[in-house]
């Protein structure tokens, strides 16, 4: 098992991308989380078998209405997730 962090830029917010990511992850048995970041990117943390994670990343390009302009990934310290979740606290609002 390994854990990767993926940062995705492009038209990735407000188009159902995180829900698509969760569906792919659930179907592949990948645990982790996805959240929108204030800079307009999406940050994904995913844990699974290396070959499954490669498939997971490649399937992200098939999400409808999404335009991925840049995708970077790096291996991080292993983490355990019981399932894949969508985090909704990525934005910091100012008044």
Domains of the chain in sequence order: 2-78 (3.30.70.100)
Annotated active-site residue in 7, 18, 65, 69: 18
pLDDT digits (tens, 9 = 90+) for 28-46: 999 999 999 999 999 999 9
Task: Give the pTM.
Answer: 0.91
Identify the H or E element spanning 5.
strand 2-11
Annotated active-site residue in 7, 11, 27, 36: 36
Report the C-alpha gap between 74 and 35 in whole angstroms: 17
Question: What pLDDT band is residue 90 in, cutting at 50, 70 and 90?
Answer: low
């Amino acid at each position: 098992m390994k854990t990767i962090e993926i940062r995705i830029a492009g038209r990735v917010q407000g188009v159902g991308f995180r829900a698509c990511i969760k569906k792919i992850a659930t179907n592949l048995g990948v645990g982790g989380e996805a959240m929108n970041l204030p800079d307009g990117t999406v940050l994904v943390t995913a844990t699974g078998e290396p070959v499954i994670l490669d498939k997971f990343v490649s399937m992200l390009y098939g999400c409808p209405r999404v335009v991925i302009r840049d995708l970077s990934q790096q291996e991080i310290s292993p983490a355990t997730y019981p399932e894949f979740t969508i985090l909704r606290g990525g934005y910091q609002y100012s008044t």
